[in-house]
Every structure is written in structure tokens, then in C-alpha cells.
Structure 1
Amino acid sequence: MRSGYRKTLALALASLTLVAAPQTAVANAAAENLAKIEARNMGKIDAARLNKLVISASPQAAGDVVFSRDWLASQPKPSGNSEFKCLAEALYFEARGETVKGQFAVAEVISNRVKSARFPDSYCGVINQGTGRKYQCQFTYTCDGHAEVIAEPRAYAQVSKVARAALDGRAPEITDGATFYHTTAVRPSWARKFTRTARYGVHLFYRRGVQTASN
């Protein structure tokens, strides 16, 4: 950014010089010299640093993650322990049809629960909380009475990469501390008691706290 400032300053000085003095050979030479100096300075900017600045300015990018299917496709096949498998499975059944950003948001809710004293302290624990009591669990797919069959391998491969990035801490925070979510297809009563923090695709995200008119 300092180079940009120098460039702006150089152009301003050159403009002032040309306005305040007649168009002489000396003035023209001074302006040309300033332009050459700036050109050399711009060439010294590190390409990696410049690329990082451009990426960070994008609303669809943060940290190591870019919220796109192309980015996910470029990532290596992920692997991991039971925590990884639990999160990948949850994303498959809860958000495989969601946007990439929406999938990361669902992963973040689960991660926020793991960090909260109100919920179990592991991904598998959070995801399977209440499992065994039909429709009394936290994640419906674990207690709806249907077999958990992964019938779309391509969708599972994608959410697995989301799960790996989330577990590795590579994903930015995008839900403002949400620990709850639901789809736009339902209107649970608890949603009126909490503060909505975000919406991605067909998912609405909430954190504990009273909903206000400004939210």
C-alpha cells in the first residue's frame, strides 16, 4: 500500500509542478523522472503479497479457503479419524445440497457447539446428541428411523473436503457465533427466542440471545 501512496503523491506533485509553472523542458523532465521512479518501486512489490491482498479483498475468500466448488475440486482427497468422519457425514445429510458457503456455515455451527460448555466436547458427541430417541435428537438424520446411506459419492467427496478444512482451522468464521440453524422450509418456535446471525442458501443461523427488531 505504501507504493500506491508514493504513486499518488508523485502524480500529485507532478500535477502541481505543471500547473504552477510553464510547460518547460525542465518541468517535463521532472515529471518524467518521478514516473520512472514509481515504476521501479511498483516492480519491487512481492507478487505473493500482492496476490494475498487481492484474495483477501474478495467477499468469497478468506484465509486458505475460497467458497467455490472449483476450489474444493482442487483440494486433495481428505482423510481423518472418527471426528472427521462424523463431521463429513453430518454435512452430507444436513447440507449436501447447500452452497459451498452454506456447507462451511453448517460445519461452523457444529464446531461452535464443540467449543461451547452447553454441548458435548467432541464432533461425534455433538452430532449424535440425543440419538436413540426418535425425533428427539439434535440432528434429525441421526434419529429419523431411516438408514444412513451415502448414495451420492460425489456430494460426499465435496463435503468431506469442507469437513477437513473446517477441522484444520482453515475456514473463516462466517456465522457470528451461531450454534443453531434451520432451513427455510420450517419455522421452529425456538427461532423466535434467538438472534439470527446469518443466512446462506436455504439455511438460517442463530445464536442464543433475544431477537430484536434491528436483527
Structure 2
Amino acid sequence: MSSKLNKASAIAVAAMMTTILLSANGSGAAAESLVPVAVPQEPTPEIQPAQIEPQVQQVPSAEPDVADSLAELVAAQPHPEALSSELNCLAGAIYFEAKGESLAGQLAVGRVVVARSKSGRFPGSYCGVVFQPSQFSFVRGGALPYIKKQSIDWKEAVAIAQIAHEGTWRSPVEGALFFHASRVSPGWRLQRLARVDNHIFYR
């Protein structure tokens, strides 16, 4: 009887130990000691050669210089039969101040007129800026002098005026509000930006 009891006790103890061990495997402490198991990934579909679109990479060309690019933009401008009074004033300022200069120099002059009209410190129109007393030496009696409107210089000034008005090309002295001919030294206490052709520009 006692051997049967001992055998039954041993079975009971073994069953209890199995229960304890199984419950420990589910606890947090046991989870820390478990070896991580790799989670199966979704298989990546294979790309067949027919599905790949060929990509053609452009060979970079040499950067065009600024003058050439601005020249192309000037050439692309329309040639209106008649200009609005505002564009006429802007083109007139470019023509009388900078004709014969580089396109960048003409644009710099035009952008000064545009910047002044938007600054709140000068009249709010191109004609107001151009005809403001004691600002532009070419103005005579509140009017523009005679312009040869069939000339290349005028056609170029009109194209630059359109570019300056639309803001499609940055001036080399963008934001300038003042300029004077390089041959004079007015002694202005302003921030000098740069010299472009025959003018020195300030903010």
C-alpha cells in the first residue's frame, strides 16, 4: 500500500511541476528568456525583364551663360503694335538710361523703376516714378523726348520692359532702388550693391 501511495505521490508531484512550468512559460519573466522567432515575410514578387521600363538619362549640357539665356528671353518677347502708357514709360526709362548697354544693364535699370513703383516710397506707377521731379535727367517738361521707335534699341528696350514688368528674369542688382552714372560721385549714404555697365546701383 505504501509503495502505491509513494507512486501516486510521485505522479502528483510530477503533474504539479509540469503545471508550474507551463504557467511560467506564459509569464513576462519567461518571455524575456525566449529566443526570438523570425516572422515570415510576404514574398516579394519577381519583376520580369518585360516589366522594367528603360530610363534614358540626359547627358548634361554645358550651362548657358546668363547673357545668352537673357538674350533668348528677349528674342522670345512679343512685339506689340502699341504699348500701354505704363509699359511705354518703363521702356522709355530703359531706352534713355541704358540703350547700347548689355541686356543685364538694361534690365537692372528697368527693375529699379519696377521696384520703386512697389516700394511705397515712390509713386505707385511706372509713369509716376519716371516723371517724378528731379529723378531722371532725360525727362524734359514732364514728357519723354522723341524716340526712334523703328530702331533696334527701342525694340530691345520694349522687350526688356516686358521682362522687367513680369519679373521673368532676376536683375543682377535685384532690389535696387537707386542708381547713378559711374562717371559721377554723388556721395550717397546708401547700401551699394554693384556696378553694372555704366551705372552703380544702391538699395
Q: TM-score range by the shorter chain?
A: 0.5 to 0.7
Name the counterpart of 1:140: 137
TM-aligned CA deviation for residue 188 of structure 1: 1.3
Alignment partner of 1:158 is 2:156: yes
Q: Which residue of 1 aligns with 2:110?
A: 107
Higher-helix-fraction structure: 1
Counterpart CA distance in 1 for 2:165 and 2:157 is 12
Q: Which residue of 1 aligns with 2:66?
A: 60
| One-letter code aligned to 1:123 | Y
Query: Which structure 1 segments of 5+ residues have no match?
Result: 1-39, 131-136, 208-215
CA distance in 2, matches of 1:80, 1:98: 22
Q: How far apart in 2 are the matches of 1:111 and 1:200?
A: 17
SS at match of 2:175: coil
Bigger radius of gyration, 1 or 2? 2
In structure 2, stretches of 5+ residues that fail to align are 1-53
Pick from 97, 112, 135 the counterpart of residue 94 of structure 1: 97
* 1:1-215 paired onto structure 2 within 5 Å: 40-41=54-55, 43=56, 58-60=64-66, 66-68=69-71, 71-78=73-80, 79-130=82-133, 137-143=134-140, 148-151=145-148, 153-190=151-188, 193-207=189-203
| Letter paired with 1:60 | V
Distance 2:142 2:120 in 1: 29
The percent of aligned pairs where both chains have the same amino acid is 37
Q: Secondary structure at the match of 2:138?
A: helix
Q: Give per-residue Cα distances to partners, 1:12-38, cap 9 Å, x unaligned.
A: xxxxxxxxxxxxxxxxxxxxxxxxxxx
**How far off is 1:93 after superposition?**
0.7
Match of 2:11 in 1: none
| TM-score, normalised relative to structure 1 | 0.60
Give the residue type in structure 2 aligned to 1:140: S
* Runs of 4+ deviating beyond 6 Å: 144-147
CA distance in 2, matches of 1:145, 1:81: 18
Inter-partner Cα distance in structure 2 for 1:146 and 1:88: 13
Report the count of equivalent residues. Answer: 148
TM (norm. structure 2) is: 0.63
Q: Is contact 1:96–1:155 with CA below 8 Å preserved after alignment?
A: yes
What are the superposed Cα offsets for residues 38-79 of structure 1, whole Å, 9 maximum, x if unpaired? Answer: xx53x155x9xx78xx6xx54507xxx9223x6534433145
Q: Deviations over 1:101-152 (max 9, x none)?
A: 000000111111011111001101001001xxxxxx1011114899711137
